[in-house]
Amino acid sequence: MIEIAYPTFASGEPRPMKAAAIRGIAAALRQQVFAGQAKPIDVADFARRTGRLQVNGRTVRVFWDLAHKVHDGKGLPVLGICEHDPEAPTAVMISLDADLVDEPELWRSTAAHEFGHAVFDMPAAMGGGARQTFRSRRDHDRTAVPIDWREWRADEFMGAFLVPPYQLAKAFARCASIAGTALHWKGVSNVSTPAVIASEAGADAISAITDMLAEEFGVSSAFTSVRLRKCGHIVASL
């Protein structure tokens, strides 16, 4: 049984959380699911390990479908979907389209994003007896509309689940050393964190570090670049 807890309103909806809190929950959950397991994660193994959750005391059964085409309510293809039907009060279904999600990095990120919805959004829907659905699209443009906090939360969860901050810090220090880049140590939330100054390290060294880490965690270089900057490993100055 995987246990998860976070602050909620009386309705069961999550209270607003800062990115650091979401990342902490994701990293702790990653440790429960894959303690001691090699990176990158295997999605089929991920699905097998996360079939039963205890979220703030509520049982959530997660059923994964990794073998069929996935469409939204209008019949349009989507990368993945997380849904709850009140006729199955304790069940959540996560479906990924193996043909549409044709890159290993996207396969992992879509799985982790939809799982983030199962963790944070579905318990309240289950408690209220409401149908709820979240979809991932390849061409979804969030810049043209006000921020969707549920999608933002699922993205923050996904980032830290696939690349846990504590693992990233250790791997970053090692890869920076391999690249011959000088490390600086700075305090972030009372933790000494390795960092490189972008102008000092140079674009080639940062690219090499990023590519090494992307391969190690099984995500894209662009994804890794975002994680490095969000976690404070690539800085403009100290």
> Are residues 138 and 186 located together in one domain of the fold?
no
Q: Are residues 56 and 15 in the same domain?
A: yes
Range of the structural domain that residue 195 is part of: 165-235
Which segments of 5-72 are extended strands (E)? 52-55, 58-65
Q: Which of 162, 189, 204 is the last residue before a domain boundary? A: 162
Q: How much of the chain is helix, strand and coil, in % rounded to 5?
A: 45, 20, 35
Considering the domain architecture, whether residues 10 and 122 belong to the same structural domain is answered as yes
Residues 58 and 138 reside in one and the same domain? yes
Task: Report strand pairing: 2-4 vs 91-96.
Answer: unpaired
State how far the Cα of 91 lies from the Cα of 107, in Å rounded to an integer.
22
Q: Is residue 14 located within the same domain as residue 93?
A: yes
User: Do 153 and 178 share a domain, yes or no?
Assistant: no
Same domain, 145 and 201: no
Supply the pLDDT for residue 41: 93
**Please, what sign has the CA dihedral across residues 138, 123, 130, 67?**
positive
57 and 70 belong to one structural domain: yes
37 and 126 in a single domain? The answer is yes
pLDDT computed for residue 138 by the predictor: 64
Task: Decide which of 135, 162, 189 is a domain's last residue.
Answer: 162
Instruction: Pick the last residue of a domain from 162, 197, 226.
Output: 162
What tokens does 139 get?
């061409």
Q: What is the pLDDT of residue 190?
A: 66
3-state secondary structure (DSSP) of residue 195: strand
Where is 118: in which H helix or E strand?
helix 104-120
For 54, the 3-state DSSP assignment is strand
Same-domain check for residues 53 and 123: yes
Both 135 and 226 in one domain: the answer is no
Q: Are residues 125 and 32 in the same domain?
A: yes
Number of domains in the chain: 2
- Reading the chain (238 residues) residue by residue, the pLDDT tens digits are 899 999 999 988 999 999 999 999 999 999 999 986 768 999 999 999 999 999 999 999 999 999 999 988 888 889 999 999 999 999 999 999 988 887 899 999 999 999 999 999 999 998 887 788 988 876 544 445 568 999 999 999 999 999 999 999 999 999 999 999 999 988 766 678 899 999 999 999 999 999 999 999 999 999 999 999 999 999 988 7
